[in-house]
């Protein structure tokens, strides 16, 4: 009897598995590919990761190939696959500024691009090895350079819409992020990207709203793009206050007991979050990243018991800032000083997840590298100074030559 029951259960489980596989395959059978290739418009901020699903494909196609073009009809086309559809890339292994061929992955016929850059904007095609396309995207990666932050607590308002005849340029905001801290005053923000509305858009690009696409879309003529070029992305920030979850409160209470016992000497001190130690040379720059955080996450930073709010430490609030948080949620410390020593805590989605104990030393050797932003800045300043001195030297001698030729200068020689 037990053997019969086991057989029935195995047969039922196998049937369910087969049904699940058939259902996944039927997704493509139910979705018919368009007879005329259209482009779905999608916009993201730089350093974000995004996924482009291949919504349709012929039933006989077992593996897809993704292609990239900067402009429609461009002679240069990148092939984003190993022709097996098995390219796997982990986001944690991808560095900012890497080539797009290193920052992509194909999973279940979908294309994943990690830490996208403005140079990745363009057209993405889902097709076959022979070059037959059956689905396409128009992707616009908007740069975070020049992004304007608006703080609602200070009474600031977002950009007003711009009108240039029939062209309407405006900002479309995403949903508010969760509060970046719990139990104390925190902050939450929402990202706004540039969009425009015009009747002069190309009909080959599919829009979510009539005649509305992102400002960097290939559907926008170059003349209209020039008018919307100065409308940068926006960041809307406001204060928030949320309680911590009960299990977090209980855990903190237990940690407080552990700390008290550790002072007595019966048990070692246990930190609330994992803490990593780093020693930095005095006068050099440092960039700290929050583990597992993405640009679209709600991330906050604390130094010991000091809260580093975006209202004071967001990049661009003050040009002379030495410590600031960029739009990718990284904490920057320029020209490290002895007062920077301490523990920097990182919050992600309202939970404190990690700590970095920073030590500052004036000893040790430092290998100069061109990948170091401080080294590049020093070289740029040196080169600019050299060019200015050269320009002044050439200008003075040109003036002297002109005066000598036209005899319009007095003779200062004895």
Report the pLDDT value the prediction gives residue 405, as an integer from 0 to 100: 77
Q: Is residue 172 part of a domain?
A: yes
Using alpha carbons, select from 151, 79, 172 the residue that is nearest to residue 312.
151
Report the pLDDT value the prediction gives residue 368, as an integer from 0 to 100: 58
How many residues appear in the chain? 414
Q: Are residues 129 and 154 in the same domain?
A: no
Tell me, what CATH number does 46's domain have? 2.60.40.10
**Phi, psi (degrees; rounded to nearest 5) at 392:** -65, -40
pLDDT digits (tens, 9 = 90+) for 100-146: 556 788 877 888 888 888 999 999 998 888 888 888 999 999 998 88
**Phi, psi (degrees; rounded to nearest 5) at 258:** -60, -40
Q: Is residue 31 part of a domain?
A: no
Q: Domain limits at 72?
A: 39-87+98-142
**Phi, psi (degrees; rounded to nearest 5) at 304:** 55, -110
Q: Are residues 60 and 137 in the same domain?
A: yes
pLDDT digits (tens, 9 = 90+) for 43-85: 999 888 888 988 887 777 777 888 899 888 777 788 886 444 4
Using alpha carbons, select from 68, 53, 29, 66 the residue that is nearest to residue 108.
53
Residues of the chain with pLDDT under 50: 1, 3, 6-10, 13, 15-28, 82-98, 249-250, 254, 257-258, 261, 412-414
Report the pLDDT value the prediction gives residue 186, as an integer from 0 to 100: 94
The tally of domains found in the chain comes to: 3
Q: Are residues 352 and 277 in the same domain?
A: yes
Q: Is residue 257 part of a domain?
A: no
What CA–CA distance (Å, rounded) separates 160 from 168? 11
Q: Are residues 132 and 186 in the same domain?
A: no
User: Cβ contacts of residue 81 below 8 Å, gap of 6+?
Assistant: 64, 65, 66, 87, 106
């Amino acid at each position: 009897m037990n053997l019969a029951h086991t057989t029935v259960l195995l047969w039922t489980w196998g049937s369910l598995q087969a049904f699940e596989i058939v259902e996944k395959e039927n997704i493509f059978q139910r979705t018919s590919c368009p007879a005329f290739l259209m482009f779905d418009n999608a916009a993201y901020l730089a350093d974000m990761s995004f996924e482009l699903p291949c919504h349709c494909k012929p039933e006989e196609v077992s593996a897809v190939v993704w292609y990239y073009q900067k402009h429609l009809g461009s002679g240069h086309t990148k092939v984003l696959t190993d022709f097996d559809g098995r390219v796997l890339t982990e986001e944690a292994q991808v560095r900012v500024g890497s080539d797009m061929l290193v920052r992509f992955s194909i999973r279940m016929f979908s294309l994943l691009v990690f830490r996208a850059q403005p140079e990745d904007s363009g057209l993405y095609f889902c097709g076959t090895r022979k070059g037959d396309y059956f689905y396409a995207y128009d992707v616009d990666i908007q740069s975070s350079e020049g992004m304007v932050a608006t703080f609602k607590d200070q009474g600031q308002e977002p950009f007003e819409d711009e009108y240039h005849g029939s062209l309407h340029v405006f900002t479309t905001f995403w949903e508010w992020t969760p509060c970046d801290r719990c139990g104390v005053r925190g902050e939450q923000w929402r990202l706004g990207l540039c969009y425009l509305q015009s009747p002069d858009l190309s009909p080959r690009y599919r829009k979510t709203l009539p005649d509305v696409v992102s400002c960097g879309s290939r559907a926008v003529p170059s003349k209209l793009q020039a008018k919307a070029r100065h409308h940068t992305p926006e960041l809307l920030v406001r204060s928030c206050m949320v309680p911590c979850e009960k299990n977090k409160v209980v855990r903190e209470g237990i940690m407080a007991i552990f700390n008290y016992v550790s002072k007595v000497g019966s048990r070692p001190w246990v930190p609330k979050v994992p803490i990593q130690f780093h020693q930095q040379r005095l006068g050099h720059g440092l960039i700290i990243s929050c583990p597992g955080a993405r640009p679209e996450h709600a991330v906050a930073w604390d130094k010991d018991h000091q809260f580093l709010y975006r209202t004071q430490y967001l990049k661009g609030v003050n040009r002379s800032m030495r410590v600031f948080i960029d739009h990718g949620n990284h904490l920057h410390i320029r020209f490290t000083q002895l007062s920077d020593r301490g523990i920097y805590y990182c919050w992600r989605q309202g939970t404190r997840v990690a700590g970095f104990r920073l030590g500052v030393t004036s000893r040790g050797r430092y290998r100069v590298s061109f990948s170091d932003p401080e080294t590049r800045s020093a070289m740029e300043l040196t080169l600019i100074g050299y060019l200015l001195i050269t320009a002044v030297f050439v200008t003075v001698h040109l003036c002297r030559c002109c005066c000598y030729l036209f005899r319009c200068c007095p003779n200062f020689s004895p």
